[in-house]
Structure 1
């Protein structure tokens, strides 16, 4: 599917936006052709520029469409002793978002006052050609009013998690330190290669909000890469990001400061693979 030409997607005037094919693609949203379907399903024809923007998105987000059945429900795994087959463990962005929304609905009201998250496609779209729109969407989230902001990242066919901490605090604070955490379950891919894009992303967020902080101070906000458990299965990265979010929400301190014992709870005993496997089955059962 990812090799189809953009003109093939839009040239079929006889294909109604209400067709079953377009309905399925528009819900998927994990790569350029499915994003194209989502736009095609709008009650208007897209412009040539919009089509070109989507074509450029082809290289920034992976497609998992063919990895999952679309009509048959997958069998649920009920035994804790049974390992889920490798091919069943990969998440697309639609599955990821559905589980994250469910997790959020079940948070306590107290937790909901400290945490928020961004859509898992926004960072990839920001790196593409829709930067202005992404910054407009983020502005509506009022992220400077939250202690912790989760930014799922899908890049180079791999999931990782950026956590923005205390952005609304004084950049020189010692008690509620503004900082960024990058959690990656596959460190061999060199998480720091994302740093230039992350720093441009953060600076643009400050600018779009009209914040008074100087660029020099913003550029010094620490980007930390804690040692976190590494995946044993190369399809697990999306589920690891959900698990990291779940654990962070449960264990994050009231006041996060890198001057007071960082990385706090993100040590070896915060995680075990038996717990991860149970979480993995829960996610995939929910998404099946």
Structure 2
């Protein structure tokens, strides 16, 4: 190799998502699976049927130049789910314990592995341990067709016949042109299986009637920002969601002017400062 040139290696490599290590799945959530947050590339019809699963690979050598925490996050457009999880955990710890008690979080692998028939039972077992019916809100970051969006279960512990607090689901997507409702059939099956695993009395038909709402949230500026937007949606929802969230006043604060670009930059700066404290 000539002097002055650095050898670059791919940041991610594809793995066979149909043949993971069964041993790792029997014992714990397999760390070898990392879902790409690299944005929204156009896939062929055949590719669109398979979740895009990738594994981390060594990156280029670190530069010696310093980057400010704010700029580091802003430049981190293509982050994998490991980075997403790291940022989320820092964000989660920044909220008070009282605030966190109203929320639960299912990490990015739950929904992706649930879509594979031979993992469904294990996924539902893992979720049952999270006791999500005791929480007011449950965040489920999902990735499909190489694009990230955020599913939120609201008041699943309440009766479906409640006249005051109605269980519902929110799907927040920063790329509406991708038609987020195409996920609806799988989301509804997911909800039915969760209710069934908890031994809830609600019938399948009644669970299927739980409203799935798709607010008109702000849209990403390019094909690489969906991961950051999902983190930001989580942050804003934890800050602003009323405890008595009801579909009667929907969409509440979740409008196109929900945040500004300046607010997004401030949020990235917050993530950077949280990372710096670690």
- Give your verdict on TM over 0.5: yes
Which of 132, 143, 152 is the aligned partner of 1:154? 143
Q: Which residue of 2 aligns with 1:239?
A: 228
Aligned to 1:98: 86
Deviation at 1:107, TM superposition (A): 1.5
Q: Judge conservation of contact 1:28–1:94 (CA < 8 Å) in 2.
A: no
C-alpha separation between the residues in 1 aligned to 2:141 and 2:15? 25
* TM-score where L is the length of structure 1: 0.75
1:201 to 2:190 alignment? yes
* Equivalent residue for 1:114, pick from 81, 96, 102: 102
Q: How far did residue 103 of structure 1 move? A: 1.4
**Inter-partner Cα distance in structure 1 for 2:208 and 2:252:** 24
| Aligned residue pairs, count | 244
Match of 1:2 in 2: 14
Please report the TM-score for the alignment, with normalisation by the length of structure 2: 0.78
| Alpha-carbon contact 1:28-1:93 (below 8 Å) kept | no
Match of 2:241 in 1: 252
Alignment match, 1:60: 51
Supply the distance in 2 between the matched residues of 1:71 and 1:217 (Cα, whole angstroms). 54
Helix, strand or coil: the match of 2:266? helix
Contact 1:174-1:257 within 8 A present in 2 as well: no
Alignment partners' CA distance in 2, 1:169 and 1:6 = 37
State the Cα distance separating 1:274 from its structure 2 match: 1.3
Q: State which drifts further: 98-107 or 180-189.
A: 98-107
Task: Give the aligned partner of residue 171 of structure 2.
Answer: 182
Counterpart CA distance in 1 for 2:156 and 2:203 is 14
Q: Offset at 1:73? A: 6.2
Q: Which consecutive unaligned segments of at least 5 residues does structure 1 have?
A: 11-25, 33-57
Higher relative contact order, chain-length normalized (CA < 8 Å, sep 6+) = 2
